[in-house]
Amino acid sequence: MKKTYSFPQGGLVFEDPYAPPQGALTETAFLPVFSVIPLIQHTGNKAYPIVFIGEYVKEGMLIGRGQGQGSANIHATVPGKIVRMVSWKTVDGIANEALVIRMEGSFERLGKKEIVYQWIDLPPSELQRLIAEYGIVEMDEEGKPIADIFGDLATEKEAITVVIRCVFDNPWFAADRAICNERIMAVVEGSLITAKACGATSIIYAVSYKEKQIIDNIQKTVQILHDSESVNIPIAVVSVGNRYPQHNRRELELVLREYEKKENILLGRLFMVCPSTASAIHDAVKFHKPILDRYVAVGGSAVKTPKVLKVRIGMRLRDVFEQCGGLITDPARIVIGSPLLGRTVLDLDEPITKTSYAVLALLAKEIGGTVPRSCIDCGECRAVCPVGIDPEALYKQIICIPENPPLVDCHGCGCCEVVCPSRLPIGTTIYAVSKGAHI
Ligand code: SF4
Ligand code: SF4
Nearest CA to ligand 1 atom 6: 413
Q: How far is the CA of 407 from the centre of ligand 2 (A)?
A: 20
Question: At 434, is the pLDDT very low, low, confident or very high (cuts 50, 70, 90)?
Answer: confident
Query: pLDDT digit string (tens) for 386-426?
Result: 999 999 999 999 988 877 777 788 988 999 998 999 989 89
Q: Is the dihedral of CA 264, 267, 268, 270 positive or negative?
A: negative
Question: Nearest C-alpha to atom 2 of ligand 1 is from which residue?
Answer: 410
- DSSP-derived letter for residue 423 is -
The whole-model pTM stands at 0.94
CB of 391 closer than 6 angstroms to any ligand 1 atom: yes
377 lines ligand 2 (CB under 6 A): yes
What is the Cα–Cα distance from 255 to 257, expressed in whole angstroms?
Answer: 5
pLDDT at 385: 96
- Atom of ligand 1 lying closest to residue 427 CA: 1
Task: For residue range 200-249, list pLDDT tens digits in order.
Answer: 999 999 999 999 999 999 999 999 988 887 778 999 999 999 999 999 99
Domains and CATH numbers, the chain: 4-16+113-286 (3.40.50.11540), 380-434 (no CATH)
Whole-Å CA distances, 388 to 26, 35, 119, 426: 38, 45, 45, 15
For the segment 146-154, the average pLDDT, to the nearest whole number, is 95
Name the residue at shortest CA distance from atom 7 of ligand 2.
392
Q: Output the CA 336–ligand 2 centroid distance in Å.
A: 27
What are 244-262's pLDDT values in tens digits? 999 999 999 999 999 999 9
User: Model confidence at 1, in pLDDT bands (50, 70, 90)?
Assistant: low
121 lines ligand 2 (CB under 6 A): no
CA of residue 108 relative to chain centroid, distance: 27
Q: How does pLDDT run across 178-205, given as a tens digit for each residue?
A: 999 999 999 999 999 999 999 999 999 9
- Across 7-21, 332-346, 400-414, the highest mean pLDDT is recorded for 7-21
Average pLDDT taken over every residue of the chain: 92
User: 419: helix, coil or strand?
Assistant: helix
Each residue's pLDDT tens digit, 162-172? 999 999 999 99
Do 256 and 202 contact (CB within 8 A), yes or no? no
pLDDT in tens, 346-389: 889 999 999 999 999 999 877 765 566 789 999 999 999 999 99
Q: Is the CB of 70 under 6 A from ligand 1?
A: no
DSSP 124: H
Which CA distances in Å does 57 have to 100, 104, 107, 170?
Answer: 11, 9, 10, 38
Say how far apart CA 254 and CA 260 lie, in whole Å: 10
Cα dihedral 362/368/370/372 (nearest 10): -160
